[in-house]
A = this chain, B = another copy of it.
């Protein structure tokens, strides 16, 4: 958390409202806190079982997942008579050689993923959806959707390093089998784009989306 929040009119107006983050990821919570946004967490129960083959590109897949996650939380709270002022939904995947990599399902799977990423470049996509009640109180909610892509270049990883990294268990709950914000950061030679996006939320893009969405109201 920063020592002091940004004193900006639209952000103060947003912080007087009920903002919901539809994700329980500790990394996403940290990033949203750093932006100076006050929020509560209501994790989405959307199952993430969309058929990837129906999407022309990984960026379309994460946008739809982010939309469904945010919508599920918005509708659930609305039905409970507790409509939030804003819901933020996000979804992140790793794309490599036209394959979408999600969380590994075993240590061997994590080793294979990291071996395939070694010495090459992959993309990380995060879809973001903002949902708010309609301005006039009736009809469909207001929705803003965007996506950020970041290129990640991996070091040449030795078998020894991959095995030792997987043994730390860090890869097991991470898309692509590495966590950029902790030990996994050492596996990455460099990135091109927003590095917060690799951790789960593109900080700067989200900030300017929130400004646009709050001012439009």
Which residues of A approach B to under 8 Å, CB–CB? Answer: 2-9, 31, 34-36, 150, 155, 160-161, 164-165, 167-170, 182-183, 185-196, 203-204, 207-208
Contact = CB atoms under 8 A, between A and B. Distances in A.
B169 A4 contact: yes
B190 A34 contact: no
A50 to B, nearest CB: 28
Given A3-B169, A189-B204, A208-B155, A34 B182 contact: yes
Stoichiometry, copies per complex: 2
Contact of A204 (B167, B186, B207): B186
Nearest to A2: B183
Contacts of A9: 160
B168 A34 contact: no
A2 B182 contact: yes
Contacts of A155: 204, 208
A204 B187 contact: yes
B3 A170 contact: yes
A191 B195 contact: yes
| Nearest 10 CB-CB pairings of A with B | A195-B195, A186-B207, A2-B183, A4-B168, A6-B164, A185-B203, A190-B193, A186-B204, A8-B164, A192-B192
Given A34-B185, A35-B186, A190-B194, A168 B204 contact: no
Contacts of A196: 185
A69 to B, nearest CB: 22
Contacts of A203: 185-186
A34 B185 CA distance: 8
A37 to B, nearest CB: 10
